[in-house]
Structure 1
């Protein structure tokens, strides 16, 4: 009878295990789908808020047919060992690429900022102009480099990064965040 009980218990485990093994998988799949749906809802809400803050940019980018650029082939690695090492050591300066709606928004923001920089000669003037355009002061980094005023920030709600240098003429460009995060070019690598 003892053998029969052990055999029954083993059979029970073999029959129940496949049934219960799927439960955890379903919960994991459901959680992942829920997280994905939540992320998508947050992304859409952020885009809608951006569009309310910057209706001129929203109009430009909703009218333009925005197609996602096909992935470009990675740049070939240098064959020279020293050049390869240099590229590896400076990888932290790489920016994530912009494409589709982010590229359109970035270009539109850069274009709307550039004419507003006319006649700006101090950090206070620069902050004031950018704040007046809707870019919150705490998020804007203003600095002086090579004798010229510069700035960088992430567009509220959706990004991308906008960086400008008040030279003659002013240069304003959109770009993705740096690989190590943020819009300001990192100062040092490894």
Structure 2
């Protein structure tokens, strides 16, 4: 073979090696998913979820509106009561702080569980109006009947007046030590009483530990 033939042969062989190297480099790092390969999960999408805030003032206003529909006479009586102004303290509620007398301070601390929430002027008017309504019904009886004395009679009278017992009840045994506790439907506050004698009915805020029924305990 002539020198020119050898040169052409080497040139063709070199070109083949260069082409093979280019193919190998092109395939480097490239992977085709086979049947046994697991597909890569998609990138997680970032979404922001903001919980809507609860408008408690609007809910309270809606509850009062439902109350007013149930008891229009009381709604009219308390229409002009101040709302959101200076809160009036419930009976037994404290204005904050402990008495200067150490013994009185210890007593107040031990009976803090009996504290009641303060009532707004509107809630105070509403509660007092319901207390007066119940007091009048108990004093004169209902439907021509005499004043109630037993647990069943008190429960029947209050139910007939439109009061439920979701947050209270009627307590006692027969006509002995009969008392009742209820929350004014829809809006509150609490109304507590005894048919007597003497007949007592009063409105108050919920206890700081929750509910209208006076908690038992302390330390």
TM over 0.5: yes
More helix as a share of residues: 1
Q: Is contact 1:148-1:166 (8 Å) kept?
A: no
2:30 match: none
Asked if 1:47 is matched to 2:64, the reply is yes
**Comparing 66-75 and 145-154, the one that deviates more:** 66-75
Q: What secondary structure sits across from 2:53 in the alignment?
A: helix
- Number of aligned residues: 159
Instruction: Work out which of the residue numbers 53, 56, 61 in structure 2 matches 1:35.
Output: 53
Q: Is contact 1:130-1:137 (8 Å) kept?
A: no
Asked if 1:181 is matched to 2:181, the reply is no
Higher relative contact order (CA 8 A, sep 6+): 1
Q: Structure 1 pair 59/161, CA: closer, same or farther in 2 (3 Å)?
A: same
Asked if 1:86 is matched to 2:114, the reply is no
5+ long unaligned stretches in structure 2? 1-47, 140-146
User: What's the TM-score, normalizing by structure 1?
Assistant: 0.73
What is the alpha-carbon distance in structure 1 between the residues aligned to residue 88 and residue 160 of structure 2? 37
Coordinate RMSD, CA, aligned: 2.7
CA displacement at 1:139 relative to structure 2: 4.2
5+ long unaligned stretches in structure 1? 1-23
Matches within 5 A, 1:147-162: 147-162=176-191
Q: What secondary structure sits across from 1:35 in the alignment?
A: coil
Asked if 1:61 is matched to 2:66, the reply is no
- For the pair shown, the structure with the greater C-alpha radius of gyration is 2
Q: Structure 1 pair 71/56, CA: closer, same or farther in 2 (3 Å)?
A: closer
Q: Structure 1 pair 168/71, CA: closer, same or farther in 2 (3 Å)?
A: closer
Asked if 1:74 is matched to 2:95, the reply is yes
Q: What secondary structure sits across from 1:130 in the alignment?
A: helix
CA displacement at 1:183 relative to structure 2: 0.7
Q: Is contact 1:66-1:104 (8 Å) kept?
A: no
Q: Structure 1 pair 96/59, CA: closer, same or farther in 2 (3 Å)?
A: same
Instruction: Work out which of the residue numbers 109, 114, 118 in structure 2 matches 1:97.
Output: 118
Q: Deviation per CA, 1:48-85: give whole Å up to 9, x if none.
A: 111111111111111x3425336789366333333322
User: What's the TM-score, normalizing by structure 2?
Assistant: 0.64
